[in-house]
A and B are shown apart, each in its own frame.
Chain A
Amino acid sequence: MSTTTTTSGHRGLQIEQALIFELDTPGSTAVDLPAAPKVRTRLGSLRSDKSIGLPGLSEPEVVRHYTRLSQKNYSIDTGFYPLGSCTMKHNPRLNEKMARLPGFADIHPFQPVSTAQGAFELIDTLAHWLKTLTGMPAVAMSPAAGAHGELCGLMCIRAAHEANGQGARKIVLVPESAHGTNPATAALCGYQVESIPASALGHVDLSVLKARLGADIAAVMITNPNTCGLFETECIEIAEAVHVAGAYFYMDGANFNALVGRVRIADLGVDAMHINLHKTFSTPHGGGGPGAGPTVLSAALAAFAPVPFVVKAGENYAVAEHAGHGAAQKAFGRMKGFQGQFGVFVRALSYILAMGVDGLKQASGDAVINANYLRAKLAAELTPAFEGRSMHEVVFDDRFLKNTGVSTLDIAKALIDEGFHPMTMYFPLVVHGALLMEPTETESKATLDQFIASVLALARRAKQGDQAEWFRAAPRLAPRRRLDETKAARKPVLRWRKADTTAEVAKQAAE
C-alpha cells in the first residue's frame, strides 16, 4: 500500500507534475521573438485566427516541468538496464558534442553538394567502417531504424528476384524465436511469412529448414546470435542451403554487439544485414529513437540499394538521389527523406573512432563475459533455458518459479523496487516465461554483483512459497505502482481535453 499522506501529493523527491495543459496561463509564452515589421501579407484566404488550444507557460515553468518529468524515468545514465535484445550501453557525451558542431548541425540536405563535402565524407567514412567490419561490399545508409533496415534488405531481395525472373518466390521463412519486426517487415514487402520451429537446443533446425526450402522461398531471415543469446552454429550450412535453393539469406543484426571485431559477417554467407547504430554503436535510445539501421549488402544485392547513396568521384563526393538514373540505375526506390539519419551517423562515427577496432573487439568480448558471468552466478537459483554458453545475452525460463505463485512479471516488478530496470520479459516466445538479460560491456563487475544479489534474493524469496501476494504488490517504491493496461486499452484516452468539452467530443466521435 502507498504511504502517501502529504497535502501536495509529492513524496520527498518524487514530485507529482500536472500536464502542461493544466498549467496554462493564457497568453503566456517562454519565447520572446522580435517584433514583426508591418507588411502586406500574402496568405490569400487561408489565414486562420481560430484558437488552437495550446497552453501558455513561462520559461521557468517549462524547465521545471520537463526536469520533473525526467526524474520519473529510469535511464542508462542513472542505472543498470539489462534489457535483452536492446543493447542498452553507455552513450558517450562526446557523440552529442560532435553532432552539435555547426558544420554538422547547421547544414542542409539540399545545399549544393560542393558545399557539403565534409558531410558526405562523414557518411562515406562510417560506411567504410561498417563494410570493413562486416566484410560486405556495400551498405545502404538511409534506413532509419532496425525494422526499416530489415525492410531495406527485403526490398533489395525482392528487387533482385524480380530482376532475375524469380518474382514468383513469395514466401519468407522466419524462426519462431524472431523479433516481431521480422514477420511484420516481410508482410510490408509483399511476402507471406512461414514460421520455422526451433530445435530443443534453441537453434534453427537445419533439417526442418532444408525440407521447406524450394522454388517458392524468397528469403530466410535469421537473427544471429539469436534471441536466445546463442550463436547459430550451423549458420554457414544454412546460408549454403538457402543459396542452393535460389533464395537469399537475411541476417538480423540486432545482436551484432556480440560479434564486432571477431567475425566477418560476409564469411557467414549473409546477403543482407541491418546494423542498429543505436544499439551496437552507442547512439542514445532517446526514450524510443531516433535510431539508424544501415544495411550491409552482398554483391548480389548491392546494385538494388535505395537512394540516396554517396558516390566518390576522384577526390570529390557526389550523391545519387534518383532511382533509375546514373549510378542508381537499378536502385529499388527511396525509403527515407533527405540524406538519412545524419545526426545519428555523426554520433556513431564519433564512438567508432574513439573505440577503434581494438576497442570494439574488446567491447564484444566484455559484453560476452558479462552475460556469461550473469549466467554462471544466477544459475544458482534461476533456470537457464538452454545448455552451454551464451553470447552477449542470456535467457532463463520460469521453471524456478514453478508452484510459487510468482510470475516472471512479478520478478521484473520487484526488481524495480531494487533500483534496477527489469530484463526483457516473455521474449523470446519459444521460452516459457522468459527472462532475457543483456548486460552489455559498459557495466562494471560491481554493478553486476549488486544486480545478481538482488535477483538471487528475489528468487529465494519466491521459492519460500507464500510470497505471491508480496510480489503482486511490487513495485512499491517507484513513481507509480502497477498501471491498469486493460483500462487504457478498453477506453483509450490518447490526448488531453478540456474537462467541460469531453462529453461533447465523445459524442462527436461516436457520430
Chain B
Amino acid sequence: MRYLPLSDENRRDMLAAIGVGSVDELFADIPAAAKAKANFSLPNTQSEIEVERILSAMAAKNLNAASAPSFLGAGNYRHHTPASLDYIIQRGEFLTAYTPYQPEIAQGTLQAIYEFQTQVALITGMEVANASMYDGATACAEAAAMACRVTKRAKVLISGGVHPHYRDVTATAMRFLDMQAECLAPDPMAVEDLIGRIGPDLACVIVQTPGFFGHLQDFSALAAACHTAGALLVVCVTEPVSLGLLKSPGDMGADIVVGEGQSIATPTSFGGPGVGLFATREKFIRQMPGRLAGETTDEDGRRGWVLTLSTREQHIRREKATSNICTNSGLIALAFSVHMTLLGEAGFRRLAELNHVHAVLLADRLEQVKGVKILPAAFFNEFAVQLPIPAAGVVEALAKRGILGGVPASRFYPTYPELANTLLLAATEMNSAADIDALGAALQEVLS
C-alpha cells in the first residue's frame, strides 16, 4: 500500500525489538468480543487510477457551475479564484501543518492568522477578530452565546431577514444551553419591527446585511435601541464581498459581527468547508470564543506571534471555556486572507462594484420578463423575486435547460405557502452578459 512505508522486514525487526511475536499481540488488551466480528464486507486497496475513475464518475453526475450558468447564492457564492491563491494554500507547509502550538516553528501560520484577524476587523469595521470559526452559521450561534455571557441575559431575538440555516443553528444551540431564541417569521419585504420587540431581558438582536432576501438596511437606529436597553447587536454577513461597497456593520454600531468567508476564500464545494468570521469590540475579547493570535517578542527581542488568551479555551478551562471549539477552519481562513491580500483595497472595491453591476444587469433583464417582480428596492449582488408560479418547479425547468437559475425560498420555508413563488437570484463577476440573457430568455419561456 503506497501510503505505508514499513516493509515486512521492518515489521519483523520492530516486533522483535518490542518483544512480541506478532502484531496481534499488541492488540491483546482488546476484549475478544470486540474483535470477533471485525470482518468487513468492503473493497480492498485500489490504485490511483481506479480511485480517480470512481470519484470522477460521481462528480460527473453533478451539474456544475463551470459548465452551466449559475445564479445560486443564499449564503454560498461562486467567485473567481486567482491562480496564485490555490497555489499558495496547497503549499505543504501550510496545508499539512497542525495548529500552531509550537510558535517557534509555526510563525508562518501565526503571522497569517494575525493578518487575517486584522483584515476581518477592517472590513467589518470592528476592533478585533478571532482566528476563525467553522462557518457563518456556527459563528452566529457562538455570537448569541457570547451575548448572553456579556449581558448575563438568556434570550436572543433573530430577525426574519437572517439566513434560515444561521437561525436554525443558533436556535438549536440556544435550546441546549437552556436559553431562548425568538425567531421571527421570514421577512421578504423587510417590514418587521425589531425595535418594538426589544425588552429588558434581551441579550441581543441578530440581523443580517445584506438581508437573506437581498434588502439593504441601515441598522444604526436598531443598534442605538439595543444599547439603550443593555442588549448587543449581532450582525451577520453571508456575502463579505458586499463589505467592499457598503457601510460596514461596525459603522452601524454592531457589537459582534459574524459571517461566512467562503465567497472570498474557496469554491462553493457544495457548501463546505467554509470559514466563520467573528469580530467584536476590544472590551469583549475575554468573552470571545475561538483562537487568537497575538503579537509578542522572542528572547532576542525579535517580533513574533503566539496563540494567546487561551485561558478562555477548552484545553485550559474545560467546562468553563467560552466554547468547545478546537479545530477551526485554518486553511480556509488562510485562503480568505490570501485573496484579500491579492485584491487589496482597490481590487476589493472593484470586485464589489462589479458584483453589484452584474446584479443590476440581471435585475434589469428580469424586469423585462412578464410576471417577474424584484422585491428589494436596494440590493447588493442578490435579490428575491416574486414569480407568478411556484419557484421550485421553475428552477427544475431551468435546470433541464442547463441553467442553475436560483434558489427557491420554499427550499428553506416549506411551511410558508406565501413564499412558494419566491426565488432568490444572485449574480457575481462570474456571470457574463450572455449568461444573464440566457436566464432571461429561459425564464420567459418557462413562465409563458
Whether A350 and B319, one on each chain, are in contact in the complex, defined by CB atoms closer than 8 angstroms, is no
Within 8 A of A (CB), among B22-52: 23, 25-31, 33-38, 40-46, 48, 50-52
B134 lies within 8 A of A144 (CB): yes
A76-84, A206-214, A396-404: which lies at the interface? A76-84
Q: Which of A56, A181, A261 contacts B344 (CB 8 A)?
A: A56
Instruction: Tell me, yes or no, whether B201 is within 8 Å of chain A by CB.
Output: no
Contact B169 A337 (CB under 8 A): yes
User: Which of under 10, 10 to 19, 20 to 34, or 35 or more describes the interface residues of B?
Assistant: 35 or more
B218 at the A interface (CB under 8 A):
yes
Those of A249-299 within 8 Å (CB) of chain B: 259, 261-264, 267-268, 276, 278, 282, 284-292
Closest chain B CB from A383 CB (angstroms): 18
For the complex, give the distance between the alpha carbons of A133 and B37 in Å. Answer: 11
Contact of B28 among A43, A53, A259, A389 (CB under 8 A): A389
Q: Which residues of B contact A81 (CB under 8 A)?
A: 98
One of B191-199, B226-234, B285-293, B437-445 contacting the partner: B285-293
Count of inter-chain pairs, beta carbons less than 8 A: 718
Q: What 0/1 readout, one digit per residue, does chain B (1-31) give for beta carbons within 8 Å of chain A?
A: 1111110001101110111100101111111
Residues of A within 8 A of B29 (CB): 230-231, 233, 388-389, 391
Which A116-156 residues have C-beta < 8 A from chain B? Answer: 116-119, 121-122, 125, 129, 132-133, 135, 144-148, 150-151, 155
Q: Do A184 and B321 form a contact, CB below 8 Å, given A43-B245, A236-B34, A489-B294?
A: yes
**Which residues of chain B come closer than 8 Å to A359, judged between CB atoms?**
1, 3-4, 44-45
| Interface residue from B132, B173, B298, B360 paired with A481 (Cβ < 8 Å) | B298
Query: A153 vs B115: C-alpha distance in the bound complex, in angstroms?
Result: 35
B414 partner residues in chain A, CB cutoff 8 A: 322, 325
B11: chain A residues at CB < 8 Å are 366, 369
Tell whether A484 pairs with B297 under 8 Å between CB atoms, given A28-B346, A73-B108, A187-B320.
yes
Q: Are B117 and A495 in contact (CB under 8 A)?
A: yes
Check if B171 sits within 8 Å of A333, measured CB to CB: yes
Q: Which residue of B lies closest to A346 (CB)?
A: B55
Taken together as a complex, chains A and B put the C-alpha atoms of A492 and B46 apart, in Å, by 51
B-contacting residues, A24-80, CB 8 Å: 26-31, 33-34, 36-37, 39-48, 50-57, 59, 62-63, 65-78
Partner of B84, one of A46, A63, A110, A349: A63
A327: min CB distance to chain B, Å = 13
Check A103 for interface membership: any CB of B closer than 8 A.
Answer: yes
Closest to B81 in A: A105
Binary per-residue interface labels of chain B (320-357) against chain A in the complex, 1 for a CB within 8 Å, 0 otherwise: 11011111111110100010111111111011011011
In the complex, chain B residues 124-148 whose Cβ is within 8 Å of any chain A Cβ? 127-129, 131-132, 134-138, 145
Q: Nearest Cβ in chain A — how far from B50, in angstroms?
A: 8
> Counting CB contacts under 8 A, is B421 at the interface?
no
Q: Is the CB of A369 within 8 A of B61?
A: no
Contacts known (A43-B378, A69-B107, A111-B63); A487 close to B296, Cβ less than 8 A: yes
Say yes or no: B218 contacts A341, CB within 8 Å.
no
Contacts of B448 in A (CB 8 A): none
Query: CB distance B342 to A261 under 8 Å?
Result: no
| A30 and B302 contact, Cβ closer than 8 Å, known pairs A46-B216, A106-B65, A373-B17 | no
* A109 at the B interface (CB under 8 A): yes
Within 8 A of B (CB), among A318-355: 321-323, 325, 332-344, 346, 349-350, 353-355
A228–B127 Cα distance when bound, in Å, is 41
CA of A102 to CA of B62, assembled, Å: 9
Minimum distance in angstroms from B31 CB to a CB of chain A: 6
| Contact flags A459-488 to B (C-beta < 8 A → 1, else 0) | 000000000000001010011111111011
Q: Does B99 contact A (CB under 8 A)?
A: yes
Minimum Cβ distance to chain A for residue B154 (Å): 12
Residues of A within 8 A of B14 (CB): 369-370, 372-373, 445
In the complex, the answer to whether A43 meets B342 with C-beta atoms within 8 Å is no
The answer to whether the Cβ of B390 comes within 8 Å of any Cβ in the partner chain is: no
Contact A494 B294 (CB under 8 A): yes
Residue of A nearest to B61 (CB): A118
With contacts A48-B246, A188-B177, A485-B296 known, is A147 near B327, CB below 8 A?
A: yes
Can you list 26 pairs linking A and B with CB atoms under 8 Å apart?
Answer: A30-B82, A42-B379, A43-B378, A46-B378, A50-B247, A69-B107, A69-B111, A70-B91, A70-B93, A77-B96, A109-B268, A109-B271, A148-B134, A230-B29, A263-B30, A288-B131, A289-B328, A292-B273, A321-B411, A334-B169, A337-B136, A337-B137, A339-B270, A340-B271, A343-B266, A481-B104
